[in-house]
Amino acid sequence: MRHAVLLAGAALALSSTLALSSTLAFAAPESLLPPVFDNPAPAPAPAPRPSAQRPAPAPSAPSASAQRPAPAATGQAAAPAPLPGIGMPVPVIPPPLVSGAPLPSGFPSLREMEAMDPDELDELLGLKPKFDIPPAARRAMSQVGVISTQEGGFGPRALAGQPEALVRKAMEGTRGPIVSRWGHMLLRRVLASRLDAPTGANPADFAAQRAALLNRMGEAQIARALVQDVDSANYTLPLTNAAFAAYFATGDILGLCPVMRLKATQRNDAQWEMLQAICLAHEGNASRSESQLRRAQRSGGTASIDALLAQRYAGAASQGRRAVTIEWGNVKELTPWRFGLARSLGVEIPADLRNAADPAYDLSDVLIPATPLQQRASSADRAGARGVLSASAMVDLYSQVWATAEITGDLRDRARLLREAYTANDVAARLTAMRGLWGDQPAYGRQVLTAYAAARVPVSDALADDAADLVASMLSAGLDRNALRWGSVVGEGSQGWALLALAQPQRNSPVGSGAFGNFVDGDSSDGQRKSRFLLAGLAGLGRLDDGAVASYSSQLGVDLERDSVWSQRIDKAAEVNNPALVALLAGVGMQGTGWDKMSARHLFHIVRALRMVGLEADARMIAAEAVARG
C-alpha cells in the first residue's frame, strides 16, 4: 500500500513536469525583457590550469551546438529544443488501491460522526490525549492515600498480602453508619492511609472502594483527598463514580473537570453530560456548554430543577447572558446533585425539603464552607457524635456562632452556655452550663462539645454525682489521663467506675467480681445493655477472669464465644497480626444507627481482636463508649 502510494506520487510529479515542458516547447510566452537581453554575451571560459606533464589537446571537431546558427533577434523567444525521449509514450501508472480492510464493528456512520461533539470524535479517532501532566510529574499507583505512618496511618503493606476478595467484601459489607464514634475514627484512619493494593487488585479500583466507603460514612472530604492522590489518566469507572459523589458532597463541583477532559466518555448519563457542560463553560467555551445543556434536557432523563441548577452554575462562568430562576415548588426529593449545586451556588434549600432529607446530608452540611453558619452549627451535634467532627472543631464552630450577632435563638443560647462552661469563674457555674448543654439524657454530641471544658473541672468529692458524665465527656475526646484523676471520687460499681475500669491504659489486676456485680445490680438500662457491654469490654481486654465471665454471661444471657463467619474472619485476622484487616472487619461489625443495634458478642470480638494486634487504645475507647452510650 505504502509502495503504491509513493509510486503514484512519483508518477504524478513526473507527468506534471513533462506536461509543463511540452507546453513551454510549443507555446513559449513573449519575452518582457529588452532586446539586449535576448542574446547575452557568452561567459568567458575559465583559463586552463598549466600542466607541464600533460600536452595540450588537439582541436576537436565542432559540436552540433557550435554548428547550429544563433537565432535571429525577432522579439519572440525561440522554442527550446525537445528533450531526449520526449516523443516516447508516458507509461500509465494505475491509481493507488484503497484498502479493503473492514471497519471495526459498531463504527459509526458518517452521519453519526457529524452529530458527535469534538470530545467524542477525538475519542473515536484516537486523538484524545491520554495524560494531562508531563511524565516526570506523574505519580505511581503505589501507596495511594492521605496519611502516612508518621502521621498516624497504617503501614503501606498492611493489606498488600491479603486476598483481594476478602478486603473488597470487608469494605463493601459496611453499608451503613458506624455506631461507635471511636470505631468510625479507626475505620477512617485505615481507609485514608497510604496503602498498596491487595494481591490481584487494580490499584485504582482499590482506591475507589475506599473512597466509596468514606462517602457512605459521611467522610466526603477525606474521600475527595483520596481520589485526588490518583492522576486523572489512571481513573477507572468505579473511581470516577466515587470521585463524583465526593466532589458533590463537598460542594466542589469543578473538582472533577480535569478527569472530565481525559475520561469524558466513561459515562453517558444526563448528570454526566450536564457536568461536562459546566466544565466547558468554566473553560471559556460557552457556546458548546449551552448546546450540551440543551441536548441533556432534550434527552428526557433530566428533571427541570437539575437542569436549572446546572444552567445557573454554567452561567456563573461570566459568560451567562440570561437569568435562571430556581423554583423548588414541584421538587419532592433532595438528591446529591441538587444538594451540591445548591450549596455551592448559595441557593437556599426549602426547610421542609432539607428536614425530610437523609441525615447523611447533615455530615456534608457541616463541612461545606458555603453552607450558612446557622445550618452548619445545627448539624454539628450529629457530626460530633458520629466522629466526623473533633471536639476542637465543634468548639471553633460554636465560637463563630457566638461572634455572629445575627444568629439568635437556641443556637445563640448554646454558644453562650459553652462559653460559660469554659470561662466562668465559679466551678458550679461551669458545671451548670455543661448540664444545660447535655440535657436530661446526655446527648453524646454535646458531651464531645464539652470534653475540654470537663477536663478543666477540678476533682472534688462534692461532684461525685456528676463524675460519670464528666468522665464520659472527657473520654469522648480521648482525654483518658484527665478522666483517670476521678478514680478516687467515683463509687465502686458506679457508671463512672465502669468507664474508668475500661479506659485505664494499664491494669495490674482483674476487675473484682463483686464490683462488677454491684454494677449489674444498679443497671437500669434497657435489657441491661450497659452491663452486657461492660462484660464484653472487660472480657475482650482480658480484665475479668474466666470464671466471672462465664458466670455473668449466663446471668445476662450472653454467649460471647458463639461463632459466625464474621467472627471467624476477625479472629483469624487478629491471629495473623494484621491491624488494618482487623479494623476493616471491625467496621463491618459496628454498623447501625444506634447502640441498640450492637450486640455484646460483636463488641467482645472487636475489642479482643484490636487488643491482640496492638490497637488497645482504640479498643479501650470503643468499650468505654459502648457503656456510656448503651
Q: Confirm whether 327 is domain-assigned.
A: yes
Closest CA to 234 of 267, 203, 210: 203
Q: Are 622 and 547 in contact (CB under 8 A)?
A: no
Q: What pLDDT score does 59 carry?
A: 46
Claim to verify: residue 314 and residue 200 sit in the same structural domain: yes
In the listed set 445, 464, 490, which residue is the last one of a domain according to the structure?
A: 490
Chain mean pLDDT for the chain: 86
Claim to verify: residue 344 and residue 476 sit in the same structural domain: no
pLDDT digits over 106-160, tens only? 788 888 877 776 767 776 777 666 767 778 888 999 999 999 999 999 999 999 9
Q: Confirm whether 114 is domain-assigned.
A: no
Of the pLDDT bands very low, low, confident and very high (cuts 50, 70, 90), residue 5 is very low
Q: What pLDDT score does 12 carry?
A: 39
Claim to verify: residue 298 and residue 324 sit in the same structural domain: yes
Claim to verify: residue 320 and residue 432 sit in the same structural domain: no
Among 10-19, 73-82, 371-380, 439-448, the least confident range: 10-19
Claim to verify: residue 407 and residue 502 sit in the same structural domain: no
The grid cell for 213 is 466507603
Claim to verify: residue 546 and residue 465 sit in the same structural domain: no
Q: Is 454 exposed, middle or buried (0-12, 13-18, 19+ CB in 10 A)?
A: buried
Which 3 state secondary structure label does DSSP give 390? coil
Q: Has residue 517 got a pLDDT over 50?
A: yes
Q: Confirm whether 17 is domain-assigned.
A: no
Claim to verify: residue 437 and residue 468 sit in the same structural domain: yes
Q: Has residue 613 got a pLDDT over 50?
A: yes
Claim to verify: residue 521 and residue 486 sit in the same structural domain: no
Q: Confirm whether 63 is domain-assigned.
A: no
Q: Are 243 and 224 in contact (CB under 8 A)?
A: yes
Q: Has residue 569 got a pLDDT over 70?
A: yes
Q: Confirm whether 24 is domain-assigned.
A: no
Q: Are 227 and 207 in contact (CB under 8 A)?
A: yes
Our count of domains for the chain comes to 3
In the listed set 444, 472, 490, which residue is the last one of a domain according to the structure?
A: 490
- How many CB atoms are closer than 10 A to CB 419? 16
Claim to verify: residue 505 and residue 437 sit in the same structural domain: no
In the listed set 295, 322, 355, which residue is the last one of a domain according to the structure?
A: 355
Q: Which one-letter amino acid corresponds to residue 24? A: L
Q: Confirm whether 124 is domain-assigned.
A: no
Residues 6+ apart with CB under 8 A from 535: 516, 544, 549, 552, 553, 556, 558, 560, 600
Query: Which domain covers residue 578, as residue numbers?
Result: 494-630
The grid cell for 25 is 516547447
Q: Has residue 329 got a pLDDT over 90?
A: no
Claim to verify: residue 241 and residue 294 sit in the same structural domain: yes
Residue 387 DSSP symbol:
T
Distances, alpha carbon 96 to alpha carbons 7, 100, 102, 114, 400, in Å = 8, 12, 18, 27, 78
Claim to verify: residue 457 and residue 512 sit in the same structural domain: no
Q: Are 270 and 296 in contact (CB under 8 A)?
A: yes
Of the pLDDT bands very low, low, confident and very high (cuts 50, 70, 90), residue 82 is low
pLDDT digits over 210-264, tens only? 999 999 999 999 999 999 999 999 999 999 999 999 999 999 999 999 999 899 8
Closest CA to 622 of 412, 595, 163, 237: 595
Claim to verify: residue 458 and residue 387 sit in the same structural domain: yes
Q: Confirm whether 130 is domain-assigned.
A: no
Q: Confirm whether 375 is domain-assigned.
A: no
- How many CB atoms are closer than 10 A to CB 317? 18
pTM: 0.80
Distances, alpha carbon 372 to alpha carbons 349, 369, 377, in Å = 11, 8, 9
